[in-house]
Amino acid sequence: MARGPRCPLGLCLLLLLLLLPGAAGADAEEPGAGGAGRRWPDMQERLREAAALCRRYWTLLSCHVWPEDCEEDAGWSLPLPGQQYLDVLATWYHRFLEGDGDHINDLSGLEADLRLRLHGQHLARELVPRAVRRHLAQPRPRRALALSFHGGSGTGKNFVAGMLAERLFRAGLRSPCVRVLIATLHFPHPRHLDRYKELLARQIRGTQGRCGQTLFIFDEAEKLHPGLLEALRPHLERQHPEAPGDSDTIFLFLSNLGGSAISETVLQLLRAGLAREDITLEHLEPRLQAEMATDGGFGQSALVRERLVELFVPFLPLEARHVGLCALDACAARGQPCPDAALQELATALVTVPREQPLFSAQGCKSVSQRLSYLSP
């Protein structure tokens, strides 16, 4: 929701003061004429003071109501009763005007989407809805739910995150209760770490104040600065039963970390004669954890060490047949058939790995829709 004018109270106050007897206007005396002239500099000074005070109040109010967008502090605060009234106002505003009722929690729809639209990822299809359903079934969860998606590019991590947003919130990724944060886009410069930590805390508090249920998606999680990961820790830790906290929050971490270990393990299992759909989390988890242990960022963070992330979901490398299914979905989304010639060209253009036994698509289903646009009509 767009924020209001910078200082609407100041504008109203200015208009009122200009209408007072003796103020400058159509019927006022010219400055310098008698007593009105002597009073005019005093009036100007009072207007400046009133405007400055208005800006300070407005900054304080807006930082309570929109803390995630607040870029400056008022530098002062109200007495305790005033602060409490501001907190009540901010909570009321967010809950009743910005859509606390936006969440719909259509878990049956989520399961159907994953079954029909997600290709080659039987583990994600099984693990993600189960974890979310268990979390939302608790009347008052003691902690936030944190899930970490791992796999190579184009395997469906962002796709599943988008499905989750669509099925938990009426407005999907556009919901004011959903935040998507990309490490290299939102936190690109390590020298600004302190500012990033402050802004991140405001965004989390502000979104949670606005909504009874929230979803935070951290893309490129392996590139998050260790200091930012540490700043997230309090939001994932177990809460006291009586304490207001992050109990209705879901955190998703999307990462390429572990992608090579997952691909190598899947290849070994397939070579050994195991069917792809028979690969389990127990097959992949040891190698995934071992690769994460060598990472000095996300893999070594307190979120992982202290088991604040409930579940690590591996996304398997996709084969050519899965990319073909993604292409059919892309054509169906356009309401057009997929010509055989276009599908053949797409299959020919696929880069497959590993070199000694090319089996997996190097880019998965990433950009399939765009690639189809350049192929034969």
DSSP string, 287-322: HHHHHHHT-SSGGGSHHHHTT-S-EEEEEPPPBHHH
Write down the pLDDT at residue 238.
Answer: 72
Task: Pick the closest to residue 128 from 143, 142, 109, 149 (CA basis).
Answer: 149
What separation, in Å, do the N-terminal and C-terminal C-alpha atoms of the chain show? 41
User: In the chain, what are the domain boundaries?
Assistant: 8-13+41-97, 107-315, 320-373
Write down the pLDDT at residue 160.
Answer: 98
Chain-centroid distance of CA 302 in Å reads 20
Write down the pLDDT at residue 15.
Answer: 44
Write down the pLDDT at residue 36.
Answer: 57
- The torsion angles phi and psi of 313, rounded to 5 degrees, stand at -105, 115
CA distance 61 to 2: 15
CA distance 116 to 328: 12
Specify the CATH superfamily of domain 107-315: P-loop containing nucleotide triphosphate hydrolases (3.40.50.300)
Write down the pLDDT at residue 372.
Answer: 85
Residues 6 or more apart in contact with residue 198 via CB below 8 angstroms: none
Task: Pick the closest to residue 120 from 333, 324, 352, 282 (CA basis).
Answer: 324
Write down the pLDDT at residue 2.
Answer: 42
CA distance 312 to 251: 12
Write down the pLDDT at residue 375.
Answer: 73
Q: Is 351 helix (H, G, I), strand (E, B) or coil?
A: coil
Residues in the chain predicted with pLDDT less than 70, given as ranges, are: 1-38, 53, 56-58, 60-101, 239-247, 376-377
Chain-centroid distance of CA 62 in Å reads 22
Neighbouring C-alpha atoms within 13 Å toward the C-beta of 202: 18
CB atoms within 10 A of CB 94: 23
Cα angle 72, 252, 307 (rounded to 5 degrees) comes to 105
Could you give the percent of the chain with pLDDT greater than 90? 58
Q: What DSSP character marks residue 169?
A: B
Residues 6 or more apart in contact with residue 158 via CB below 8 angstroms: 219, 254
* 106 exposure class (CB count in 10 Å sphere: 0-12, 13-18, 19+): middle
Which segments of the chain does DSSP mark as H helices, in order? 8-18, 34-65, 80-97, 107-117, 122-136, 157-168, 183-186, 193-210, 226-236, 259-271, 281-293, 302-305, 320-334, 340-349, 368-373
